Structures are given as C-alpha cells and as structure tokens.
C-alpha cells in the first residue's frame, strides 16, 4: 500500500487514461465508468473446506457441525459487459459498526471460508467483508450507495434465490462419490431462475455458482464464458475437519 500511494503523485501528472493503463484503478474518484450488471457470487463450502489445512476462529469451515452446508455468499459484484469490472471505486473504509445489526446473518450466510486476512483497497488487510465492500461494493453506485445497503441488499437477493434448494430438488445433492452433468446443473438453475448462471470449478468440483442481475435485480444471463468445469462435476459433501483439526493442533 505504501507503494500505491507513492505512485499516485506522478500519475496525477499524466492523463487520466494513462493512469488507468498503468493500473491504479480506483484511486481517483470518478475514473471508472458505471457498471453494467451485478453478479451474485456464491461459494460451495463442500469444495472450499476440503482444502482447509489449518483452522482458526475466522474460518467457517472450522465450525465442526455448525459449518455451512449450503452455498454461502462470496460477494455481490458490479461487472462490465466486456468481461472486466471496476474495483476500489472510492475511499470508504469498512466499518463493522455500520452493519452491527446484520452480523448474525452475515456470520451464517456470508462467512469467510479461509484463515488469512483479505486485502482491502487502501488500508492493507482486513475482514472478508471489508474486502468485498471496499473492492466491489464501492463500485455499485448509483444502485447501492453505502456499506449498510451493500450488505442488506446482497442478503436479500441471496434469500430470494436458494441455489442449494434448487439443486437439491433437481436431484443434485452433495455427494463424495457422484458425478453430475454440468449441463443438468445449469438447466436446473435456468428453469428456476430464468437466466443462465456461471459455474466455476476447482478441478472437477463445483466451487462457485454466480447468478447475474440487471441493475434492478431482475435476473439476466451471465456472460457466456469459457467455463472452468468439465462435462461432469461433483458437489462434494462437507467433511468435518475443523473440530478434529483444531483439537489436534491444540494437543
């Protein structure tokens, strides 16, 4: 971060476009144009928690029987139609006090699934929520204009479309032995959500599903991109490693 602020003064001497080209995105108010659509990015704990090697209190994978078994929120991301996205659009340091009334819901539905701290735009490192608000949330204006609105809006959209339920009802249940056709998973979501999601895999395992929205939160197709998934994918069941791992670490 020290190096970032050191780069700003010479950058200001250049044209705005040149500043963007050398990658100081978002450090200058108004430098990034308004976004085109939202993606609600959901993470599958069954896949991410399999990779957990160390446990810590901030990692929801380590909550033993209270660990998440549904898709949880990664973030609500403003995106451009060309496949790029704005980030860190203005200085707004995350303040947990602004969302104190939402913390129970956020711990449950928007937990961190990692131990490490997350990078923030201007202040170094912080909570996962700080990363999402500073990097993505600040770019969602004029639809969302403050931190509280970012989190309550995201929770509300998440509650409206229960992807875990959509998949379960179509027969795609968590399993450590089954493989499911990717096309079947996509169709199940299309049938309910009425738009095409994006599916992200880690090897053959589903790691994220993204739902896309117009600025008024009506569903729209995500960009047709090269998927990171093979034709047949898995939806791993959560394997509790947290309690045992932390107990053996303490022992």
Ligand X SMILES: *[C@@H]1O[C@H](CO)[C@@H](O)[C@H](O)[C@H]1NC(C)=O
Q: Which residues are catalytic?
A: 74, 132, 136
Residue 102 CA to residue 20 CA, distance in Å, equals: 35
If binding is defined by CB under 6 A, does position 160 make contact with ligand X? no
Residue 80 CA to residue 215 CA, distance in Å, equals: 12
If binding is defined by CB under 6 A, does position 159 make contact with ligand X? yes
120/164 with CB nearer ligand X: 164
Binding mask 167-186 for ligand X (x = CB under 6 A): -x------------------
Instruction: Write phi, then psi, for 54 (nearest 5 degrees).
Output: -125, 150
Which one of 23-31, 77-85, 156-164, 242-250 is the stretch in contact with ligand X (CB under 6 A)? 156-164
**3-state secondary structure at position 232:** strand
If binding is defined by CB under 6 A, does position 155 make contact with ligand X? no
Residue 81 CA to residue 104 CA, distance in Å, equals: 34
Which one of 49-57, 90-98, 163-171, 211-219 is the stretch in contact with ligand X (CB under 6 A)? 163-171
Residue 105 CA to residue 76 CA, distance in Å, equals: 16
Q: Which helix (DSSP H) or strand (DSSP E) does residue 208 occupy? A: strand 205-213
Contacts of ligand X in 53-72 (CB under 6 A): 70
If binding is defined by CB under 6 A, does position 164 make contact with ligand X? yes
32/164 with CB nearer ligand X: 164
In sign, the C-alpha dihedral spanning 162, 167, 170, 174 is negative
If binding is defined by CB under 6 A, does position 214 make contact with ligand X? no
The residues of the shown chain that bind ligand X, judged by CB under 6 A, are: 70, 159, 162, 164-165, 168
């Amino acid at each position: 971060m020290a190096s970032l602020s050191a780069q700003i003064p010479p950058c200001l001497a250049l044209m705005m476009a040149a500043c963007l080209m050398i990658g100081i995105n978002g450090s200058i108010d108004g430098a990034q144009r308004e976004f085109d659509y939202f993606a609600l990015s959901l993470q599958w704990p069954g896949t991410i928690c399999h990779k957990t090697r160390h446990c810590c209190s901030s990692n929801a994978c380590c909550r033993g029987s209270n660990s998440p078994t549904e898709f949880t929120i990664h973030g609500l991301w403003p995106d451009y139609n060309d496949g790029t996205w704005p980030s860190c659009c203005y200085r707004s340091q995350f303040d947990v006090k602004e969302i104190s009334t939402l913390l129970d819901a956020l711990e449950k539905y928007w937990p961190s699934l990692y131990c490490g701290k997350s990078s923030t735009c201007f202040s170094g490192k912080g909570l996962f929520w700080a990363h999402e608000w500073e990097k993505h949330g600040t770019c969602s204006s004029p639809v969302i204009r403050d931190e509280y609105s970012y989190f309550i809006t995201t929770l509300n959209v998440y509650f409206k479309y229960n992807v875990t339920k959509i998949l379960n009802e179509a027969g795609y249940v968590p399993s450590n032995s089954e493989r499911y056709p990717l096309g079947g998973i996509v169709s199940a979501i299309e049938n309910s959500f009425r738009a095409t999601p994006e599916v992200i895999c880690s090897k053959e395992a589903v790691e994220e599903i993204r739902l896309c929205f117009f600025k008024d939160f009506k569903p729209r197709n995500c960009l047709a991109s090269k998927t990171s998934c093979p034709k047949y994918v898995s939806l791993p069941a959560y394997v509790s490693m947290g309690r045992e791992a932390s107990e053996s670490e303490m022992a």
